[in-house]
Structure 1
């Protein structure tokens, strides 16, 4: 899934409130206007790769997490 440079520059990434403040292994998520989600590694400080998910893919992922599929 393609993400434009403009979308990356203007995306507002956030970390989970459950993430520690020690700079450990965290992911950051941003939601785009059309519902796509972007995910990146916080340790890369915005310079690493970004994964993009369609709204339906993200919803399926959350449903699986909440259902304990990855537990």
Structure 2
């Protein structure tokens, strides 16, 4: 789940090196759910419109926190 959370430096691993998503206040809180993720860095890669399994996991995590 830390892939989607901001680290101490304010960056989200899911956004990788895309500065617009990391720093721009209009984009930095819009989380994209990618098809798969970089195993070492956590950056989202693959299609961001194929959200099947990632979306299911996100929903389950949300429900477990309620």
Q: Sort the TM-score into its range (normalised by shorter chain).
A: 0.3 to 0.5
Higher share in strand? 1
